[in-house]
Structure 1
Amino acid sequence: MSKVWLPPAQYVATLPKATVYGCFFITDTDDRPIQLRAARNPKMWQWPGGNMDPGETPWDCAIREGLEETGLHLAQTPCLLGVHFLTEREDWPALKLGLIFDGGRLTAEQISRIVLDPDEHSEVVVRSLEEWQQDMSEVAFRRLAAIADARRTGAACYLQQTEPA
């Protein structure tokens, strides 16, 4: 640690760089998680959300991305379920921090109204945790299960990921 004081702009330039995303965990009324299949990587399942735009908060990002990716307003009030920290990886050369909010329990009618952006997602799927476990990597499923547990218990979780999903 340097004992030399730096003006804020110079100090900030020395800090690690990170991107931040906001997203929603959603389920059906039976608490079965709903996920979206990524169009660019069909093995990847995602929640509605994405990276923050300049000047945006994680909550505003989740609202915007949720609407863009599903056509639905998924929540009115922030309820944080978890924080997801990812270290730098070969395919993403920056730290990444995600805030996962509760997007609620959707009725069958709401699920039927989801409109996907075909450039981002190809499919909406509702499954039990046991069924999701069969179709996800161990790392990705641990994240899903931890967030489902956070909603069930009311205690937000911290997830730290050092390996690719």
Structure 2
Amino acid sequence: MIVWVNGAFGTGKTRACRELVELLPGSLLFDPELVGAGLRRLLPADRLEPAADVRDVAAWRRLVPEVAAALLGEVPGPLVVPMTLLREDHRDEIFGSLASRGLAVHHFVLDAAETILHERGAEHLADYRAARRWLVRDAQLVDVDGATPRQTAQRIAELLSEGRARCPIVRSHEGPGDTVAAAVLLFDERDRVLLVDPVYKPFWEFPGGVVERGEAPTDAAVREAAEELGLYLEPGSLRLLTVDWEPGTGPGRGGLRLVYDGGRLGSGAGGRLRLPADELRGWRFVTLDEAAALLPPGRFRRLAAALGARELGELRYLEAGVPAGRG
């Protein structure tokens, strides 16, 4: 189990977490700043300047869950983590990676009045003010105005025992092998495509998921539409648009990615969508240009190719989102 203590710089996270470790038998303090310090020594200067925010480095976001999981293999736990996370996509990436390892995350935010934060010399208050809009939905806020580190720790321990701060992220363990995944594209009356916002990864996605053992890809697309959107599609209504070979990169697995045309949902479709809160936080219909800002590059190329195939009424084979034989 992970106890992640978030908040603006200067709220006393580390001091409160040191007290919290004393209140939780078997627990261990893990400061991700140590991972950042190691990266600053290892990475070349042109990749990471000394003053850069280490949270923006992909290697840091990959290593923090790895180190956390390794530490919890050595101690009973929980692992108490004092770390500011103000970008929701960073939260999704790190917490999703922890969840994929079967580690429950309990998310707390030490919240103080801005006058108090100014007195403590807290940095990046504008960033925290903006982040607070999503933090109040995701985490359990702990008021630290006038509280000592010990009192803050005691309050966190109470909330922890009540299970009030657990992040509801359902993410099955991922093995090392390649996979086959099926996605379905759904459109509104203006031919905008539906994208969803997962809670366990930093980018938006198409509705879909990994094909289970013994399951036909078309059946997987139908199942995922039902599980993720509450929509029940007829398998015969789907048309395959693209088959994309996605190479594995970093911690991600590769494999075949099949994209189906699920047709138009029509006016008022949004009222019929039912998203599982532990997997998806939102949806929207977007144009191709709008999708460019929401999808990672490879997935955007796949979408563009699928929309092209839909327009021409053809099936396209891709590799890394690019038609085979083209650069």
Taking structure 2 as the reference length, what is the TM-score of the superposition? Answer: 0.41
**Which runs of no fewer than 5 residues in structure 1 stay unpaired?**
1-16
Correspondence for 1:48 among 195, 204, 207: 207
CA shift for structure 1 position 120: 1.5
Correspondence for 2:193 among 21, 25, 33: 33
Correspondence for 2:232 among 57, 69, 73: 73
CA shift for structure 1 position 135: 3.4
Partner of 1:87: 247
- Quickly say closer, same or farther: Cα 1:135–1:46, change in 2 above 3 A: closer
Partner of 2:218: 59
More helix by share: 2
How many Å separate the matches in 2 of 1:139 and 1:69? 22
- Quickly say closer, same or farther: Cα 1:38–1:23, change in 2 above 3 A: same
Q: Which one has a bigger Cα radius of gyration?
A: 2
Q: Which secondary structure state, in structure 2, belongs to the residue aligned with residue 144 of structure 1?
A: helix
Is 1:22 matched up with 2:182? yes
Correspondence list, 1:111-122, <5 A:
111-122=270-281
Identity %: 33
Correspondence for 1:138 among 297, 303, 307: 297
How many Å separate the matches in 1 of 2:307 and 2:234? 17
Deviation track 1:96-153 (CA, whole Å, cap 9, x = no partner) reads 1111111111113223211111122111111111222233333332221111111111
How many Å separate the matches in 2 of 1:137 and 1:53? 24
CA shift for structure 1 position 56: 0.6
How many Å separate the matches in 2 of 1:106 and 1:129? 18
Deviation track 1:52-99 (CA, whole Å, cap 9, x = no partner) reads 112111011111111000000234414101112111222124x31111
How many Å separate the matches in 2 of 1:92 and 1:126? 26
Correspondence list, 1:123-134, <5 A:
123-134=282-293
Alignment RMSD (CA, Å): 1.8
**Which runs of no fewer than 5 residues in structure 2 stay unpaired?**
1-176, 322-327
2:203–2:294: 8 Å Cα contact kept in structure 1? no
How many Å separate the matches in 2 of 1:20 and 1:140? 15
Matched pairs, number: 144
Q: Which secondary structure state, in structure 1, belongs to the residue aligned with residue 269 of structure 2?
A: helix
How many Å separate the matches in 1 of 2:221 and 2:199? 19
Q: Which runs of 4+ in 1 moved over 3 A?
A: 134-138
More strand by share: 1
Q: Which secondary structure state, in structure 1, belongs to the residue aligned with residue 292 of structure 2?
A: helix
CA shift for structure 1 position 47: 1.4
Deviation track 1:8-52 (CA, whole Å, cap 9, x = no partner) reads xxxxxxxxx5311112011111111110011112x4111111111
- Quickly say closer, same or farther: Cα 1:138–1:87, change in 2 above 3 A: closer
Which structure carries more relative contact order (alpha carbon 8 Å, separation 6+)? 1
Q: Which secondary structure state, in structure 2, belongs to the residue aligned with residue 152 of structure 1?
A: helix
Question: Which amino acid letter does the alignment assign opposite residue 102 of structure 1?
Answer: D
Partner of 2:312: 153
